[in-house]
Structure 1
Amino acid sequence: MIRVRTTVVRALVVAVLIVPALAPGARAAEDEIRIGSVWGLTGPTAGTSQEGRRGMELAQDLINKKGVLGRKIRVIFEDDKADPAVGVSATEKLITQDKVHAFVGGYGSTVCNAMLGAFQKYTPRPLAVLTGCGATTIEQRFGKEPGYLFVHPWEYYYQTTVRDFLASLSPRPQSVFIAHEDRLYGTSHAKMAEEYLKEAGFKVVAKESFKSGSPDLTALLTRAKSMNPDVFYWIAYGADAVLVTKQGKELNFAPRMYASTVALGTQEYRDAVGTDNAEAMVGVTVWEPISTFPASRAWPDLFPSTRDWVREYTARYKREPHYFAVMGYVALVATAKAIEAAGGTDREKMALALERLDTMSPMGPLRFTPSKFAKNHAFKQMFIFQWQKGEKVLVFPKDVATGALRHPFPAWSPR
């Protein structure tokens, strides 16, 4: 009996000695709120993805000045390399190994679609505040799923904005050549663009696909030049925008307008092609640093006015933010505030708190409302910008325009 008691006492002593040694690490993991974030940090989507990452890192640092329910936020970034298979592996690692409490961010509909497909294997499915899912295919497939909240405008907001912009021009362009990357993002957008443009009376002379990240688009651009369209409209990523610009110049392909989507708006694009070559290029945007939204009344420290937020971002990174920077920032702050309101990381309570958000943010009014097929969707506004003398100028809609459109596209030869 004495031996048994002695053994038990020794075991308890050992346990008492071991527990303090293990506890700090265990407590550290328990004391942090882990957020998974998958972006194409290398590859063709790197420029825009790095903008999103910078915005989230800024949000993380500002949130952690006060913490969330006495805990710190830790964002675990993973690089999907713009490859859906890599994105799925990163997603599963974040769920099974890192045991994240939520997903925030992301760029690229092809990867986003694959990531949400991977979510379906898990019960409960992760809560996600998604910045990079713009394809209507995703909206139709996953939009009703509770706990999935979509921040980025859907593609029909893009394409109706492009259609209305082209229709507003005088003289009105007649013909459009559509080029698009060949995965979900480009294919889905191009299909909708063609539909809306034709309905509005524009002649779509061709709709051609190409592989994003291709080293040479000469053949496609040569075919487009031979058709002499009024508008060359391409739907792709940042590296593709650089190649189209450089090779378009080499071929002296000068339609009345070059127009593209969001990747055209990054500082990396302007720096890669040069200010002169970016001149008069037209793109679509959700937000620009010249926006004038006021601070949130509820959380002015984390949701300051656009002007103050841009000043903070620019001071830290020595560059102006792309809209994916502010979108990543807003998405992470919204998630942190939802965790506070929920009193913890319970998925259903967090989702409900996000659905109840109604505040001003540096990106504009933040409120999740239904879209065509999704239960919770935030930003729906889109604008047209143009590069002019190295700066972006809003040219459409007219009520927000900060300058006049330079049209038609100037000749390449003097540049």
Structure 2
Amino acid sequence: MTINLTRRVGLLGIACAALMAPQSAWAQDSIKIGAPLSLSGKFVSYGAAAKRGIEMAVDVYGGKVAGKKIEVLFRDTQSDAQAAVNSFTQLLSQEKVNYLIGPIATPIAMAGVPAWLRAKALWIVPGATTPLLEEKVGKEAMFFHTFPYAYHYHASLAKALREKLGPGKTLAIIYSDDAYGREHLPYAQKYFAAAGFRIVAEELVRAGATDLNPVFAKIRRAKPDVLMGLVQTTDGITLTKQAYVQRLGVPYMIGTAYPQLKQWQDATGEAQEGWIGVTTYIPGLEAAADPKYPALFPATKDWIAAFTNRYNRQPEFVDVGAYVSTMMLLLAIEQAKADDREKVAAEMKKLDVKTMIGRGHFGPADGGTLNQAFADVVVHQRVKNQDAIIFPPEFATTKTLEQAAYPK
């Protein structure tokens, strides 16, 4: 028996349609979220933590949103700018995702900006403190920043220390000659001056310097009430240890992000006593569950218990930030009832939830970002190898500020 050509072509079309149908239906029944993260390289600790937070949020939500499967497409940026460009391009141009979460590290986020500007997916960044990112994309309606910028650190520090120490205090600043120190310096100057501090010394040090005695001699002559070290973690270790050994004698010592880090704490030992730092989350921070969504945003202690049970480790600030950011996105998708970036962005702007790191609500930032959340940074102090929370008031665990310790 023979089959004529017309019938053969018709059968072939039916067969092709049958083969294509499952893949097409599967694609339509899933919502893709791109996650360009440093899963290897020097920023791997950030990327690994963000991956944990994202995965936990998806699981807690139930794996589906707006009736569709949640598909997270993790891509390794390798802590490298060019690899980040490739990851962004692949997710946005090939996978055509409507939503991105990450990266965390500032240089990797900056590397992805040109590719993102061509596609403008809804982009959530739970990291990247540089205001350069704000200058590039802050005014974009699809950009949502869920981590403080560098200037937020200093706004919170200045406010907290003014409340605890009163007016008329003096400040000295040591800053490194790298991008970190030079970027933070003008923000420290601006916000501490606005809070009534008089800056009596500003000393530049070389990144990686091993002998800070010449700088300390100048600080001693200035006799400040407060000393701030605008340096990165390894230099923060050197500064902390040498200030202690040399009995610098400044009553109050401020770092930025490094006093929260285990690396700094393990390296500085008894020299860390009294140091003040800033972060978005720290052990001891306690928030109540969101009254409307307690299963998604439980009380901090309950969320920590669930995280610890899942990963057999304590959460870090990136774990919590990535979880909260992902959960807010999923809520917005659910409320939009569609895989539509414009509608989801509109719902993101309406969100107002209580999370483990404070109020989850987007509003304008001082530097021009349209959609900024979690700008109030937690100010804490190392006291007897623990963290006493100073600011904001709703999370404070102490009313007093301890002076830095020096050897007798």
Question: What per-residue deviation string (whole Å, max 9, x for no partner) do you get for residues 44-68 of structure 1?
Answer: 5444444333222211222244544
Flag the 1:6–1:297 CA change in 2: closer, same or farther, 3 A. farther
- Report if the CA contact (8 A) 1:283-1:384 is conserved: yes
The normalised TM-score by structure 1 is 0.81
The alignment status of 1:265 with 2:260, answered yes or no, reads yes
The match for 1:379 is 374
In 2, the alpha carbon distance for the partners of 1:37 and 1:236 equals 29
Flag the 1:207–1:342 CA change in 2: closer, same or farther, 3 A. farther
* Aligned equivalent of 1:102, options 99, 104, 112: 99
- Identity within the alignment, %: 24
The match for 1:392 is 387
Q: Displacement, 1:28?
A: 4.2
Flag the 1:347–1:207 CA change in 2: closer, same or farther, 3 A. farther
Equivalent residues in 2 for 1:91-240, closer than 5 Å: 91-120=88-117, 122-123=118-119, 125-167=120-162, 168-169=164-165, 174-180=170-176, 182-183=178-179, 186-199=181-194, 200-208=196-204, 216-219=208-211, 221-228=212-219, 230=224, 231-235=226-230, 237-238=232-233
2:187 alignment partner, SS class: helix
- Unaligned runs of 5+ residues in structure 2 are none
2:390 alignment partner, SS class: strand
Flag the 1:401–1:277 CA change in 2: closer, same or farther, 3 A. same
1:71 alignment partner, SS class: strand
Partner amino acid, structure 1, of 2:29 = D
Flag the 1:312–1:382 CA change in 2: closer, same or farther, 3 A. same
The alignment status of 1:280 with 2:274, answered yes or no, reads yes
Partner amino acid, structure 1, of 2:188 = A
The match for 1:332 is 326
Flag the 1:265–1:25 CA change in 2: closer, same or farther, 3 A. farther
Flag the 1:71–1:398 CA change in 2: closer, same or farther, 3 A. closer
In 2, the alpha carbon distance for the partners of 1:138 and 1:312 equals 33
- Report if the CA contact (8 A) 2:102-2:125 is conserved: yes
Flag the 1:69–1:282 CA change in 2: closer, same or farther, 3 A. same
Q: Displacement, 1:8?
A: 3.5
* Aligned equivalent of 2:68, options 67, 70, 80: 70
- Report if the CA contact (8 A) 1:197-1:204 is conserved: no
In 1, the alpha carbon distance for the partners of 2:90 and 2:213 equals 44
Q: How large is the Cα RMSD of the aligned pairs?
A: 3.4
The alignment status of 1:367 with 2:361, answered yes or no, reads yes
2:129 alignment partner, SS class: coil
* More moved, 90-99 vs 348-357: 90-99
Partner amino acid, structure 2, of 1:206 = E
In 1, the alpha carbon distance for the partners of 2:249 and 2:360 equals 40
Q: Displacement, 1:16?
A: 4.0
Q: Displacement, 1:385?
A: 0.7
In 2, the alpha carbon distance for the partners of 1:80 and 1:308 equals 33
The match for 2:289 is 295
Partner amino acid, structure 2, of 1:203 = I
2:147 alignment partner, SS class: coil
Q: Displacement, 1:327?
A: 1.5
The match for 2:403 is 408
The match for 1:347 is 341
The normalised TM-score by structure 2 is 0.83
In 1, the alpha carbon distance for the partners of 2:104 and 2:250 equals 30
* More moved, 311-320 vs 38-47: 38-47
